[in-house]
Structure 1
Amino acid sequence: MKRPRVLLLTYGALPIPAVKGGAIETLLASLIEENEKQQLLELIIVSTDDPAIPRFNQTHQHTQVIAVETKKRPLWWFIQKCWNKCRTLATGKRKNLIPYPELIVKTKEYLQEETVDCLIDLNCPERVPAIRSFYTGKLAVYLHNDYLNTQTYQGEKILQQLDGVLSVCDFLNQQAQKIAYSEEWPEFYRVNNGIKLAEFQLANNEEKQQARTQLQLNETDRVIVFSGRITKTKGVHLLLEALSRIDSLEKVTLLVLGGTTYSSGEKDSYFKKVITQAEELPIDVRFTGYIEKEQIPYYLKAADICAIPSIFHETCCLSAVEAQAMGIPVIATKIGGIPEYISEKSALLIDYDQHYLEKFAAGLDQLIHDDPFRDRLSKAAVKGREQHSQKRYYQEFVGSINQLAAKKI
């Protein structure tokens, strides 16, 4: 049976393989790994260049990465961002920046020589009109963020030119379906994100204490972990504010895993602000900076609680999925696609309203001090871990591709 040939056009900021991190890049790495085992697709990935690509191509039989030398254009990006903001103010429509047009050029060059069964744009629907100027085959966008909705510039035109929309959650599909559109809709597919469950196993007491010893954490502390980028939308400042509202914080430690951007050790004004905010708390707050994805399970072994205080339309939040797979109770904002991945039977989901901080602080307080409650959430989290396996993710992705490839144009 012929394997579908699928071209994946990445955003370009970070490379494939995911040697510099990135949520979408890490997820794509899982897809590639599973495909090497099951061999149901031939993947062609257009990526920004990286020294790791030649070796990657040598060791993978069913994935080819096409390396593209990309350039940073800070002045052009600044002008484009200003122009897009003016357009938003004038029309109410938003257009995201297309920072690396050379990826589109390379895709066009490749398709002049080769054929594919479908082309998938990774999370940048604004590129669809440009792709359609040279590609007439099956075209879909794979949404990981809320980038196709009623505020998207030329949203109707983008939908008209698509054969399919793949999304990591129903929330994103529903957002796209709110666009005022009167023609035939593209097909919508939901692809459940997955992780390599073998790396995220429930830690026993001995493993937990060993991790704490090596990380120089007290054995009896309640360890709260935040894992993600240190940005305002991820809500680290709100987590710190919620902790400041708890009366008893004796023997509590907060681990903040991540940096301003993936693989970056730089600290912007927001990062510096939360460091100052953390210094005012009567607890030990540790900022690790960027850590490799392979190290995440090691840090999670030491944790009692995972906090996800996001204040934007988070669509999946793999950090919460990873924590739940290890039986770590999660407290998270009930927003975007998070409720599709985290059950209220195994986590505390807090509505983002005028009482958010008050309720988030109360939830944290309960998780810190109520051992039986925390244990119940932990057991419930472990029961649901299989629904977010890498294998299921791959099966749903392949199923969507097969349906898309079989669709008549």
Structure 2
Amino acid sequence: MNNICIICPYDYPIPAVKGGAIEQVVDGICTINEIEHLLNITVLTTFDDEAQKLGDHYKYSKFVIFKKYKIDKFIFFVFRVLKKIFKIYIPTSYRMTKIKKWIVENEHNFDFFIFEDGLTYMIPYLFKNIDRKKVLTHLHWIGDPNKKTNKYFSYLLPVSNYVGENWKKQSGTSKVPIKVLKNGINLDNFTKDLAADEQLVLKRSLGIKDDSFVVLYIGRIVKEKGILRLIEAIERLDEEDITLIIIGSAKFAEKSMTDYEKEVYKRIETSHCLIVHLGFVQNSELYRYQKISDIAIIPTIVEEAAALVSIECMAAGLPLIATNSGGLPEYADTSCSIIVSKGESMIDELITAIKCLKSDKQLKEKMSNNAVKEAQKYSLKNTYFDLVHFLSKLT
């Protein structure tokens, strides 16, 4: 049985009580391992009282907690300046130096280190003195590809073919060992039923008419996600029986508000359309809003590595409208999704796609059924067993 150490991102804790896409995947792998116990897992994660209490109940996963420090923001600022101007890479935080020390001291206890943190430029710093055969990089975005980083890990585990091919291209070599390890979700969270009368109660509590056609957006409120373009498409449709529900914030469960969020909220407040913004909603509660929705839209305007929300909405039976962004089409099968451009014609294509699914109930129902079937490919169990199988081949 392999002993693995998973190095997780800075911002949010595991168990994933504050949200976060990567955090939910790692949390899910640990949860399934409690049942299957095919791995001994140690997770390096961020301190949080609630998460720490939950983590104490895991039998086959150990959570090593690293605190955030006040000086971290200043260090990260210096890091960004040095990186941009001089191409010099210092640790991104004081916390990162603590993690490096822990890894060096405990290397002998592990068969593999899996780097889940998106800061790939930290790989040379963290693993300089570690056997590269032990180091795997599970990449959830396009990363920061370069030949130097390639020297410090044995395998790249991108969440989509797009991410893997982009890494090879940008790092200038085709020799990077790659194994695509696609994201998965807890399907049970999104296949729950919500009785018809409960759906009506929820709709009315949000000020939504019983027969309204509901369009759903779930994701962070950041410019890259294209929310303002989606709002413009809804406004240009100008149909009274269409409602847009927006779920999410810039920083998941954190309550601070960015300038972009303020811009989005102002647009919502002044819109002549019915737009309901709910802020952050716990993953376990999303199904309630999916069940009162007709379709889901993922309007990303940058290259998306892969979107968990696409799987979540498919599992809930929602037809998708998504942009042709990076690895997103690899998850959003055409049998249950309409792919639109993220370029100049995006808003017009969104309008056309929404009209199509609103007017063609038979097509919408067919895509809904296909979505549920397609989502079965992306269970956390599949991700877990893919990882276990791959690690067994390496040992």
Q: TM-score, normalised by structure 2?
A: 0.92
Aligned length: 390
Would you say the 8 A contact 1:211–1:301 is kept in 2?
no
Partner of 1:240 in structure 2? 231
Q: CA deviation at 1:105?
A: 2.6
2: CA distance, partners of 1:96 / 1:262 = 28
Structure 2 counterpart of 1:140, one-letter code: L
Which of 360, 370, 377 in structure 1 is aligned with 2:360? 370
Q: Deviations over 1:159-182 (max 9, x none)?
A: 122111111111111111114556
Residue 121 (structure 1) aligned with residue 120 (structure 2): no
**Cα distance change, pair 30–339 in 1 and its aligned pair in 2 (3 A):** same
Alignment of 1:6-405 (within 5 A): 6-72=4-70, 73-87=72-86, 99-109=92-102, 111-113=104-106, 114-122=108-116, 123-136=118-131, 138-149=134-145, 155-179=146-170, 181=172, 185-201=175-191, 203=193, 206=196, 208-246=199-237, 248-404=238-394
Contact 1:7 1:118 in 2 (8 A): yes
Contact 2:79 2:89 in 1 (8 A): no
User: Partner amino acid for 2:253?
Assistant: S
String of CA shifts for 1:351-391, please: whole Å, max 9, x gaps: 22332221122112222333223222212212212111121
State how far apart, in whole Å, the 1-side matches of 2:245 and 2:216 are.
5
3-state SS, counterpart of residue 307 of structure 1: strand
CA–CA distance in structure 2, aligned partners of residues 262 and 180 of structure 1: 31
Structure 1 stretches of 4+ with a deviation exceeding 6 A read none
Aligned-partner Cα distance in 1 for 2:316–2:247: 17
**How well do the aligned residues superpose, as a CA RMSD in angstroms?**
2.3
- Whole-angstrom distance in 1 between the partners of 2:127 and 2:195: 56
CA distance in 1, matches of 2:344, 2:73: 38
Instruction: Classify the secondary structure of the residue corresponding to 2:355.
Output: helix
Q: Which amino acid aligns with 2:114?
A: I
Counterpart contact for 2:320–2:336, Cα < 8 Å? yes
Shift of 1:205: 6.5
Segments of structure 2 that go 5 or more residues without pairing to the other structure are: none
- The CA distance in 1 between the partners of 2:147 and 2:156, in whole Å, is 13
Distance 1:313 1:394, change over 3 A: same
Q: What letter matches 1:128 in structure 2?
A: I
Q: Identity of aligned pairs, percent?
A: 23
Shift of the 260–291 alpha-carbon distance from structure 1 to 2, 3 Å rule, reads same
Check 1:160–1:195 CA distance in 2 against 1; reply closer, same or farther (3 A cut).
Answer: same
> What TM-score, normalized by structure 1, do the two folds share?
0.89
* 2:203 partner letter: R
For structure 1, list consecutive stretches of 5 or more residues without a partner in the other structure: 89-94, 150-154
Change (3 A) 1:42 1:218: same
The answer as to whether partners of 1:321 and 1:341 remain within 8 angstroms in 2 is yes
Q: Structure 2 vs 1, CA of residues 210 and 192 (structure 1 numbering), >3 Å: closer, same or farther?
A: farther
For the residues of structure 2 that align with 1:243 and 1:265, how far apart are their CA atoms?
Answer: 27
Cα 1:68/1:323, change in 2 over 3 Å: same
The C-alpha deviation readout for 1:27-58, integer Å capped at 9, x for no partner, is 11111111111111111111111213543343
User: What is the distance in 1 between the residues matched to 2:268 and 2:90?
Assistant: 33
Is the 8 Å Cα contact of residues 234 and 273 (structure 2) preserved in structure 1? no
Contact 2:234/2:244 (8 A) holds in 1: no
Q: Are the equivalent residues in 2 in contact too, given 1:47–1:103 (CA < 8 A)?
A: no
Contact 1:9/1:103 (CA < 8 Å) preserved in 2? Answer: no
